Structure 1
C-alpha cells in the first residue's frame, strides 16, 4: 500500500464510469459518540465531553467539539486530556446505542443510493452517480441526507462531494461541524495544491512534521516531488 504522500500525486484525477464522471459523497458524523451522549443527556450539551475511560490507562474514544477547543482528541490518554481540560466530563462508551444509531443513518443512505461503503459506525462513502431518485444534483443529495439524518437522529453530519473518494473525504472535513463542501471537476488540482499536508487523510502530526523538514507543507509541494523521493522517505 502506498503512503498518503505518494498516492496524492495521482489522487486528483476523476473516477470515470462508462457514462461520465463519478459522483461521490463522503458523510462523516460530527463527534459521533460524544454527540450521542449529549443528545441523550441534555445536561451535557455545551460542555466538554469525552467518551472513554477516565482513569489509569484510559483513552479518549471521542471528544465533543467543546472539548476539542482545549486540544482534547481521540486516541489521547485520558490523563493528558484532563490536563488540557480539567473540567472534562467522561462518559463510558455505549456501543450498543452507537450501533443502533449507525443503523438509522445507514437506512438514510440507502434511501438515496444502494451504493454505500461504510468506513466505520460514523462515516461512509456513497456513490450517487446513478441518481436513482432523480434528484439531479449530488450536492442536493448531500444536503437532503444531512437534513434527514438530523430529523431522524437529532445529530449533525458533515459531507464532502466530489468526483473521487480521496477528494470527497477531504471535502467533508473542511466545514465541520454540520458543514458541506463541494470540489467540482476542474477544481481538484488547485484545491489540493493549496491544502496543508496536515489536512490530508492519513498524514498525522509526525508525518506532517517529517514533511516540513523536507520542505513539504502543501499538496503542491507533494506533487513537486517525484514518486521515487516520496516512496523512499514515506514508504
Structure 2
C-alpha cells in the first residue's frame, strides 16, 4: 500500500485579502475585518500589514485601533467570503473528490490516487495555488505530507 498524499490549503489572511483585492486603495495598508469598536467589535482577520503592529484575530477592535491609529476597518462581508470560498472549493474538487473543508479558507485534500501532475502531491499543490491565484487574485499556502497533522 502506497502512503497517503494529503495537501493542506490555507488561504492567506483570507477575509483581509478579499477586502484588499476588492478595494485596491487598501492594498499595502494595515487593515482589519471587524465591526466597529462601538459595537464591541473583534478582529475577524488582519492583513499582514496590520500584523506588523501586533494586531491579530480575536483582538478587540478598540485595542487594534490603539496599536495602529491609521488602521482601516472593513466591515465583514460574509456572503462575499462564502462565494469566494465556493469558487476555491470548485477548483479543489476539479483535482480530487476527497476535499475536507475546515472553514471558509482552509481544507484538506487527499490526492493519493490523483492522476494529475504524475501523482506528485507537491506539484498538485503548486498547480492548485496557481489556479487559485489566477481565478481569485488571492494567495494560498499549502502543506504536503502523508497525514493531516503534518500537512
- Using the size of structure 1 for normalisation, the TM-score is 0.63
The structure 1 residue matched to 2:96, chosen from 113, 119, 122, is: 113
Asked whether 1:55 is paired with 2:28, we answer no
Question: Cα offset for 1:87?
Answer: 1.0
Report SS of the residue matched to 2:119.
Answer: coil
CA distance in structure 2 between the partners assigned to 1:133 and 1:166 by the alignment: 23
1:23 matched residue in structure 2: 5
1:36 matched residue in structure 2: 18
Per-residue CA shift, 1:118-143, capped at 9, x if unaligned?
00000000000001435320000000
- Using the size of structure 2 for normalisation, the TM-score is 0.96
Asked whether 1:124 is paired with 2:107, we answer yes
Runs of 4+ in structure 1 displaced over 4 angstroms? none
Task: State how many pairs are aligned.
Answer: 150
Question: Cα offset for 1:83?
Answer: 1.5
Asked whether the 8 Å contact 1:113–1:132 carries over to 2, the reply is no
Q: How does 1:64-79 map to 2 (within 5 A)?
A: 64-79=47-62
2:84 matched residue in structure 1: 101
- The gaps in structure 2 that reach 5 residues or longer are none
2:73 matched residue in structure 1: 90
Report SS of the residue matched to 1:20.
Answer: coil
- The gaps in structure 1 that reach 5 residues or longer are 1-18, 169-235
Per-residue CA shift, 1:134-182, capped at 9, x if unaligned?
53200000000000000000000000001110011xxxxxxxxxxxxxx
Cα 1:134–1:49 shift into 2, 3 Å = closer
RCO comparison, higher one (Cα < 8 Å, 6+): 2
CA distance in structure 2 between the partners assigned to 1:60 and 1:83 by the alignment: 13
Q: How does 1:126-205 map to 2 (within 5 A)?
A: 126-133=109-116, 135-168=118-151
CA distance in structure 1 between the partners assigned to 2:78 and 2:119 by the alignment: 36
Report SS of the residue matched to 1:101.
Answer: helix
CA distance in structure 2 between the partners assigned to 1:134 and 1:52 by the alignment: 40
User: Could you say which structure has the higher strand fraction?
Assistant: 2
